[in-house]
Structure 1
């Protein structure tokens, strides 16, 4: 179970790192993220900068808790709550027929849709499973795995991060061409 906990924790750290970088790489990127929240119709314009800053702070806190020795359970609990919140917000955006893109990992022209909700829900579910595993096995440290298990966890987590971050591109790649 330690390998599963480590894999999920590494995947969450990777996803949140990309997310944080995409939102904090420039003042304009932060502004686009805040404007994206308004376009998703989940936050009023006046609250967008505050909600954007709180979202970024929560992502950083979760990633930090997963990286800090002895706080894996807290990090996974935070991750579960964070992705549950993202799932709910994206679901509301779809119900309100928002046409804005999901700016989770930078600028996106793809309107928010079910794949974005599924991505957040999968991250939430994986975090919940890992939280259960970490709590049941008293896995408070992600270090200490044998080398082969660590390499496997890193490889699977890397694959998950790439797949989740580039979801829109992967879906486009496998989409059937429109018939004439």
Structure 2
């Protein structure tokens, strides 16, 4: 279970670090994308955007400190679920904005981002469960290296998911940002 914990911890840490760096490279674009969703009044949306950024920084720090890993995993899950809720609400209202999760992506928020966030929240939960079940057993270097390599590959897939969907997904990229409600049929 130690290796599962290490893999989940490392994957989430890398994903959140890249998210923080991407947002800090273009904070105005990230704030504008949150405002464009119109989930909150403009001023509250700006505050929420900076709260998300602050929450991501807290998660990164908590995941990096051995005694606060469980707090980091729980914080990651909570933040991811809150972000997912916001995306779902916006999509149900027919609103979308570019995903500025990792910086300057032009891909609109959509189902792919909902699934991605739910998988990441699940990994945070798996990390918490693995941490609770991990005993005082010895770890082997090969297992740690394998866990870190798996985390790196997983983080790369998560961060480049918009590009992968664009490359291998439907020809019409707008499907990724389609609302979650089915279209109404004409009578």
Pairwise same-fold verdict (TM > 0.5):
yes
- 1:15-54 map, 5 Å: 15-25=15-25, 29-54=26-51
CA contact (8 A) 2:96 2:110 kept: no
Is the 8 Å Cα contact of residues 16 and 63 (structure 1) preserved in structure 2?
Answer: yes
Counterpart residue number, 2:7:
7
Task: Give the secondary-structure state (helix, strand or coil) at the position aligned to 2:79.
Answer: helix
- 2:181 paired residue number: none
In the alignment, the residues of structure 2 paired with residue 94 and residue 118 of structure 1 have an alpha-carbon distance, to the nearest angstrom, of 13
Distance in 2 separating the partners of 1:90 and 1:3: 32
Q: CA deviation at 1:77?
A: 1.1
Q: Equivalents in 2 of 1:13, 1:31: separation in Å?
A: 24
In the alignment, is residue 118 of structure 1 matched against residue 115 of structure 2?
A: yes
Could you tell me which residue of structure 2 aligns to residue 171 of structure 1? 165
CA distance in 2, matches of 1:47, 1:157: 35
Q: Which of these residues, 54, 58, 64, is aligned with residue 57 of structure 1?
A: 54
Q: Which of 125, 128, 145 is the aligned partner of 1:128?
A: 125
d(CA) in 2 for partners of 1:78 and 1:176?
Answer: 34
How much has 1:133 moved relative to structure 2?
1.6
Moved more, 43-52 or 14-23: 43-52
CA shift for structure 1 position 96: 1.4
1:177 shift after superposition: 4.4
- Partners of 2:109 and 2:43 lie apart in 1 by 22
Contact 1:62 1:78 in 2 (8 A): yes
CA–CA distance in structure 2, aligned partners of residues 51 and 23 of structure 1: 13
CA deviation after TM superposition for structure 1 residue 176, in Å: 4.8
Determine if the alignment matches structure 1 residue 148 to structure 2 residue 142. yes
Q: List runs of 5+ in structure 1 lacking aligned partners.
A: none
Q: Deviations over 1:111-150 (max 9, x none)?
A: 11100000000001111111122123368xxxx8421112
Aligned to 1:98: 95
Instruction: Report the more deviating stretch, 110-119 or 97-106.
Output: 97-106
Shift of 1:52: 1.4
Structure 2 stretches lacking a partner, 5+ long? 173-187
SS at structure 2 position matched to 1:71: helix
Q: 7-16 vs 106-115, which deviates more?
A: 106-115
User: Structure 1 residues 69 and 38, CA, compared in 2 at 3 Å: closer, same or farther?
Assistant: same
Q: Which residue of 2 aligns with 1:88?
A: 85
Give the aligned CA root-mean-square deviation in angstroms.
Answer: 1.7
